[in-house]
Structure 1
Amino acid sequence: MNSETHFKTHQPATVNKVKSKLKLLSLLMLLMQPILSAQAKNINATRIAASIKLDGHLTEPAWQSVVPTTDFLQQEPIPGNAPSFKTEARILYDNENIYIGIMCYDDEPEKIIAREMKWDGFISADDNIKLIFDTFDDNRSAYWFGTNPLGAKDDALLTGFEMSSFNEDWNGVWDVECKILENGWSAEFVFPFSTFKFYDKEKQSWGFNILRAIRRKNEEVLWTSVGQNLGFMKISSAGDLVGIENIKRGNPVYLKPYFTAGAQFIDGESKYKHEPGLDLKYGVTETLSLDATFNTDFAQVESDRAKINLTRFPLFFPEKREFFLEGKKTFDFNLGGNNTLFYSRRIGISNGAEIPILAGAKLVGRVSDFEIGAIDMQTAGKGSEPTTNYGTARVKYDLFNSSYVGVLATNKVSEKGSSNSFGGDINFSFDDFLGNQNLVVYSAIAKTNESGGSKDSWAGNFFVDFPNDFVDTYLGYRFIQDGFNPTMGFVSRRGFKQLVYNLSISPRIHAGGIKRLDFVPVESSFYYDNNGSLESAQILFSPLGIVFESGDEIGFGIGRTFDRPNEDFEIFDTTKVKAGRYWYTTYGCGIETNPSRTIFGEAEVITGGFYNGTNTSFEAMASVTLTKHFTLSGDLAYNKIKMNNNSFSTSEVGARITYNISTRMISSVFAQWNNELNEANINYRFNWKPNIGSDVYLVLNQLLSTEGKIRSKDFAVLAKVVWMIII
């Protein structure tokens, strides 16, 4: 064999080896891209001697003396791409505050979208800036702040894996001013250090990230944590805010005395109210906060949305009262769905009626590797409800990078007797599974005890979740025994074992105006009774969902439902579903438009079987932004049901008119009606924030009967003044 022949014989093999190595290298680079984009980055805070004048302009010498951070990358629509416009970030601090200045360059500032002015409004539909601080640098909790070019304020407390628990009802003490300029827009933030909890040490290192949204382009850019399976809320991949030294959180006492006065007129009878009260917040340590309340009043809280229940299980209503909202995620104990061991609406509310709260206290924060929370509340007696003491305690111990093991206990005591519950849970959360994939493994077990209660009073929840950009799958098992009765918790049903499996596949294609496709091969839930017989089931298949580059979405689905009620139950008026076995199929489609549009909304139609009959349901929501001050919105839920040789319909309607005078002065009218109660509830709320932490409210509530001749059933007018004093 000559050398030429030898060369020719081996050349293909050599070339193939090189090609294979290049392919392998390319694949590794592709797989590594999201990891490389998530490498740790630092941003430095510079100490200044004089405070900053908050006016939205970044022209002061202190700002200009700092070299800005500009290395932002696109996260949406295509992770890692260069942004359309440049963004600059600067950070300053003094002994009391941290200041953040963001300059958002824009070649066409006249096209900047800015409409929201309400505190905790929907700034995501506008151009916006969002900040996230992990002040403990433990990847377990964070503070979230946002604004838009009008200077609207939005804030939240984040906890859980991927910061999935988003408590937007928390209101921190901070401020921001924004300006629309000839070359873009700027934002100037100030945060007192007392707003945060952090460790008492000489040099601080906080997890930190910045998001800028360019809404007309449906573009989001990040400072760090860029890539698939990453993103703004993935705090474990955030950068580090460094350079803050020798600062103290301090332990100021925030006093919020308030006075409520008003009148209520019910069926010709008059009741008058004039009561003082006090809320208090005290930083026990740099990492622990104590909240106390005396003669608690929630007059300004908007009424719950009335719902027509077409199931045989109770409805779940979210907490709206401010005292219970801050730190509420500390007390979460997941038993599947809305089932939980602690449900704060059991305190001070009974069968929809308010029960006076005499006083209460809440302690939330961290001690070393422990996250702790405790609540103790005392309610007054009212009607058949005796004066009652409610107590709960929660402890979580940190495991690994973002996992924990925890316990929760509750105790309720009144002259009617006592009850208590106890539970333990363990959560393993990983963001580096198989390289850069997310994985959550969770297990919880709980037991209740009450006077004369059943021994079969256990509940449990176990699941494995794989929540990722391309594939999202979930497998879970839950059970609740017949005697499980958390008197300070919530359960929708008892005496079951449940299996859950969900799978969705969402490839990004970025072609033909389509951003990504969503396929749901299966979304399933099976309930079994104590004998192992199938009690109910729901199986959903979605052959196609489309998310467009424009931000609009459409989807289609087919559902198969089984239910085996053991006794008759009423769903509407006098219509009953008979005990028996029912299988039926439904078909649905839905559409959702980009909320950055002047007119946007969503709609869904589902039609098919319903027990031994049929149902066609239609739900829709629409919002119109006329100006930055004036917004109209409304929603409708309608069901046309045929069953038991009868035909009937259900209707629920809601409408809201919002007029925002400024970012600190808003007013709104909300009206709701449904044809089950045949009542129209009209609520007017005016809120003025003269300074951060202080509020003036005026609330008018009119309840009208629409059955037959329209008449007034209840009219109330209330005024409340809350003034924050810092000592």
Structure 2
Amino acid sequence: MRRQIFWLTAFAALCANGPAGAAQDTSVRRSSDRNFANFTPCVQAVRIAHEDAPVIDGDLSDPVWRRAQPITEFYQVDPVEGAAPTEPTKAYVLFDERNLYIGIYNYDSEPELIRRSQMQRDFILRDDDAVRVYLDTFGSFRDAYFFGVNANGARADALIENNSNYQNQWNTIWRAESRLADDGWMTEIVIPFQSISFDPNLEEWNMQIVRNIRRKNEEIRWSNIDRSRGRIDMTNPGRLAGVRDVESGIGLELQAYVTGAAAYDWRTADKDYDFNPSGNAFYKITPSLTGSLTVNTDFSDTQLDDRQVNTGRFSLFFPETRDFFLQDAQVFEFGGRIFQDLVNGMPFFSRNIGIVDGQPVDLLAGAKLSGKLGPANIGAISARTSASEAIGVDGQFLSSARLSVPVLSASKLGLVFTHGDPTGEDESTVAGADFQFKKLNLFGDGTLFADTAYTHSFTGGESDHMLAHETAYRSQTWNGTFRFRDIGADYAPKLGFVNRTDIRRYNANGWRKYRPSGGFIREAETGGFANIITDRNGRTLDRFFGAWMGGSNNPGDELWLRYENGFVDIVDPFSIAGEVPVAPGDYRWSQYEVEASATNARMVGAEVEARWGGIYDGDYLNIRSELSLRPSRYFELAAGYEYSDFDLPSGEIGVHIASVNSTIAFTPDMTIKTEIQYDNISEAFTFFSRFSWEPMPEREIFLSIGHTALIERTDFPRDFTSRRSSLALRLGHTFRM
């Protein structure tokens, strides 16, 4: 991440506090006029009869909205924290026994300049005029459901974990429509109570509403008026009161799918046909505790993993993208900030269920329990995978469980347990505990985090541990982090992720943020870091020191400069990309990096990053570039290219990775997404195109076309050898009872 990456050169271009329905003061109102540390706005949701529910068409003129208590008191967070927004916003909340209704009127004095460049599901909200709604339905102050809508009515939904992780692969059933007006734009949202879990005994839900005005790069919030806390942070939310006595049917949801697939092997001319029924069932044991069952699970709609080539010493990490495992994923979150970007040692990683050594295996059945029981958050999953002759594994039972309870004012204490080995080679069990501490309003606007995790694995007759800790302080000016991680030589969480053992790791960084009161620069920062890795006898294996400097301008363009001084002690020989050997020994180097980006909020966006210097007694160059094009809201094209050159005494290699992604969005519910990838090390070319259409929220039509080929690097692009083509059609329907 930027703050951990390093530099030296200079930055080249430098239910409280007033009635919710009060009229908006359009003068600039600074945060000194109100104590935002204790600011907790509250709104009463108004109950209506189901037959009086508003028509969801993006038009707030429906008379029923006038029954709602209007929310008009919003504040800027960017660019002037605590100031009155430059454009007013008005929000309403209604509910009946089945649904929650949210209407938002986004007034705009220049409606012709409203940015609405995207139409597809799960669009990038920061690039458009959009509104976000966060619902913490358990009073956790950490986890939330997220719903976002832009001026086209495009929808985005996600799960928020631990105020930091944003799981945008999660989807649920809900509706939204937007409409332009002469004085702005409106949106209407309906969220069925069957689509979310909640604590029926909770007097108030935590809620946040955020609006961004893209052309001004202005962010407006209802609560949490503190730019040192991200917009997904639910530490200091507003309150939504009065949502009581609602129905979610008998709590049963059935998802039925049928998939017809065909494949052709170009090498052998073999044809393969498959007809595959599958299904998921979700039952709300209580409104806040859900049991799930999946049978013969179909993952045909899962997107391609981003192409990676391993040029280092340790295995690569690929994130989870499958819907079944992302459902209620926040319940399984462990360790807090510890595994936010350093995943080595993670005790449970759901991708290990159904994928072995990067190859998929069929998931015959799986059961999951997730939600809240009393004050405790509970997550448990058990799955049965099938045998695979292709990769030589037998079917396995794989299980994990997670329990956490809130303690103190904003902290939690938890346990984790896993059992099973996806390969079947060993009996493997992991048990552990974590404590996630948070202290608000320290030294004014600061927040202190202190997360600690301990796990122990018992695998194949061996046992060992992992101990990790992070202390972090975040504020609008001074920031710092200290991390420690101790991983034993025999620590082996077979359902987790570990790529380096027998080490102790120490990380520290600190940086200062600057917010000029006017001019071209929106935000700047400068900082430094130190990362040291030793073996468990104290011998230094890796040591990196560095600094960085950079920032962003008012439209959102960025420039960053970094410097790193590195030392590594290679104990075991390895090969870069499997081709250029690196011998054991001590290596020292310096590297420099420049990164510049032009915001994607324009029709054309771009990012270029160059890193160069020494490595392993040789020279290193890495260039990464991305280009995006949005000529209309119906079409988007993104191209990426990365080149890495290693020129060592033992040999030279150039690694090329290229990708092209396109989206054609006919409507917010009908899209064609295409992904093309190639790298010259595996010489693998992949084409995958997906057509998806939801004619209604409960119904799905999905069609995918895939093709793989080999392109020899010495004769690129002429030597194109097709390997496999595939076609799949899936029909799905959700039944709610």
TM-score calculated relative to the size of structure 1:
0.92
Paired position in structure 2 for 1:23:
none
Q: Shift of the alpha carbon at 1:34?
A: 7.2
Q: Does 1:594 align with 2:594?
A: no
User: Is the 1:591–1:604 contact (alpha carbons within 8 Å) kept by the matching residues of 2?
Assistant: yes
58-67 or 619-628, which moves further after superposition?
Answer: 58-67
1:437-586 mapped onto 2 (5 Å cutoff): 437-453=446-462, 455=463, 457-520=464-527, 522-542=528-548, 544-586=549-591
Q: Compared with structure 1, are the counterparts of its residues 422 and 65 closer, same or farther at alpha carbon in structure 2 (3 Å cutoff)?
A: closer
Paired position in structure 2 for 1:121:
123
SS at match of 2:571: coil
Q: Does 1:241 align with 2:240?
A: yes
Q: Compared with structure 1, are the counterparts of its residues 299 and 227 closer, same or farther at alpha carbon in structure 2 (3 Å cutoff)?
A: closer
Paired position in structure 2 for 1:183:
183
Q: Compared with structure 1, are the counterparts of its residues 578 and 436 closer, same or farther at alpha carbon in structure 2 (3 Å cutoff)?
A: same
1:548-697 mapped onto 2 (5 Å cutoff): 548-644=553-649, 646-697=651-702
Q: Shift of the alpha carbon at 1:237?
A: 1.5
Q: Shift of the alpha carbon at 1:469?
A: 2.3
Which among 348, 351, 358 is matched to residue 354 of structure 2? 348
Q: Deviations over 1:520-570 (max 9, x none)?
A: 1x222111012211001222211x202111211101111111111112101
Paired position in structure 2 for 1:712:
722
User: Is the 1:34–1:228 contact (alpha carbons within 8 Å) kept by the matching residues of 2?
Assistant: no
Paired position in structure 2 for 1:16:
none
User: Is the 2:254–2:280 contact (alpha carbons within 8 Å) kept by the matching residues of 1?
Assistant: yes
Q: Shift of the alpha carbon at 1:318?
A: 0.5
User: Is the 2:53–2:64 contact (alpha carbons within 8 Å) kept by the matching residues of 1?
Assistant: no
Q: Shift of the alpha carbon at 1:503?
A: 0.8
Q: Aligned partners of 1:597, 1:290: CA distance in 2, in Å?
A: 44
User: Is the 2:381–2:401 contact (alpha carbons within 8 Å) kept by the matching residues of 1?
Assistant: yes
SS at match of 1:194: helix
SS at match of 1:626: strand
Q: Compared with structure 1, are the counterparts of its residues 438 and 30 closer, same or farther at alpha carbon in structure 2 (3 Å cutoff)?
A: farther
User: Is the 1:129–1:147 contact (alpha carbons within 8 Å) kept by the matching residues of 2?
Assistant: yes
Q: Deviations over 1:150-189 (max 9, x none)?
A: 00111111121xx112111221221111001111100011
TM-score calculated relative to the size of structure 2:
0.91
Which letter does structure 2 place at the counterpart of 1:715?
S
User: Is the 1:568–1:578 contact (alpha carbons within 8 Å) kept by the matching residues of 2?
Assistant: yes
Q: Aligned partners of 1:435, 1:495: CA distance in 2, in Å?
A: 40
Which letter does structure 1 place at the counterpart of 2:493?
P
Number of residue equivalences = 692
Q: Compared with structure 1, are the counterparts of its residues 722 and 476 closer, same or farther at alpha carbon in structure 2 (3 Å cutoff)?
A: same
Paired position in structure 1 for 2:441:
432
Paired position in structure 2 for 1:277:
278
User: Is the 2:368–2:381 contact (alpha carbons within 8 Å) kept by the matching residues of 1?
Assistant: yes
Which letter does structure 2 place at the counterpart of 1:423?
G
Task: Give the 4+ runs in structure 1 shifted more than 4 A.
Answer: 29-34, 413-417
Q: Aligned partners of 1:712, 1:706: CA distance in 2, in Å?
A: 9
Paired position in structure 2 for 1:289:
290
Q: Shift of the alpha carbon at 1:232?
A: 3.4
SS at match of 1:342: coil
Q: Aligned partners of 1:376, 1:466: CA distance in 2, in Å?
A: 37
Which among 110, 125, 139 is matched to residue 112 of structure 2? 110
Paired position in structure 2 for 1:389:
397
Q: Shift of the alpha carbon at 1:249?
A: 4.1
Which letter does structure 1 place at the counterpart of 2:670?
M
Q: Shift of the alpha carbon at 1:423?
A: 0.7
SS at match of 1:79: coil
User: Is the 1:696–1:720 contact (alpha carbons within 8 Å) kept by the matching residues of 2?
Assistant: yes
Q: Deviations over 1:276-300 (max 9, x none)?
A: 0111111110110111100111112
Q: Aligned partners of 1:510, 1:548: CA distance in 2, in Å?
A: 12
Q: Aligned partners of 2:447, 2:318: CA distance in 1, in Å?
A: 30
Paired position in structure 2 for 1:8:
none
Q: Which runs of 5+ in 1 are unaligned?
A: 1-28
Paired position in structure 1 for 2:83:
81
Q: Which runs of 5+ in 2 are unaligned?
A: 1-28
224-233 or 647-656, which moves further after superposition?
Answer: 224-233
Q: Compared with structure 1, are the counterparts of its residues 642 and 33 closer, same or farther at alpha carbon in structure 2 (3 Å cutoff)?
A: farther
Q: Shift of the alpha carbon at 1:250?
A: 4.3
Paired position in structure 1 for 2:20:
none
Q: Aligned partners of 1:640, 1:131: CA distance in 2, in Å?
A: 45
Q: Aligned partners of 1:694, 1:502: CA distance in 2, in Å?
A: 49
SS at match of 1:236: coil
Q: Deviations over 1:320-379 (max 9, x none)?
A: 111111122322334651120001111111122111111001111011111110000001
User: Is the 2:581–2:651 contact (alpha carbons within 8 Å) kept by the matching residues of 1?
Assistant: no
Q: Compared with structure 1, are the counterparts of its residues 370 and 523 closer, same or farther at alpha carbon in structure 2 (3 Å cutoff)?
A: same
Q: Aligned partners of 1:164, 1:230: CA distance in 2, in Å?
A: 10
Which letter does structure 2 place at the counterpart of 1:196?
I
Q: Does 1:406 align with 2:408?
A: no
Q: Aligned partners of 1:277, 1:116: CA distance in 2, in Å?
A: 32
1:315-326 mapped onto 2 (5 Å cutoff): 315-326=316-327
Paired position in structure 1 for 2:62:
60
Q: Deviations over 1:264-318 (max 9, x none)?
A: 1222222211110111111110110111100111112122222111110000000
Paired position in structure 1 for 2:16:
none
Q: Aligned partners of 1:571, 1:275: CA distance in 2, in Å?
A: 41
Paired position in structure 1 for 2:193:
193
Q: Shift of the alpha carbon at 1:589?
A: 0.7
Identity across aligned pairs (percent)? Answer: 27
RMSD over aligned CA atoms reads 1.8
Q: Shift of the alpha carbon at 1:32?
A: 6.1
Q: Aligned partners of 1:534, 1:628: CA distance in 2, in Å?
A: 53
User: Is the 2:158–2:167 contact (alpha carbons within 8 Å) kept by the matching residues of 1?
Assistant: yes
User: Is the 1:54–1:176 contact (alpha carbons within 8 Å) kept by the matching residues of 2?
Assistant: yes
User: Is the 1:38–1:225 contact (alpha carbons within 8 Å) kept by the matching residues of 2?
Assistant: no
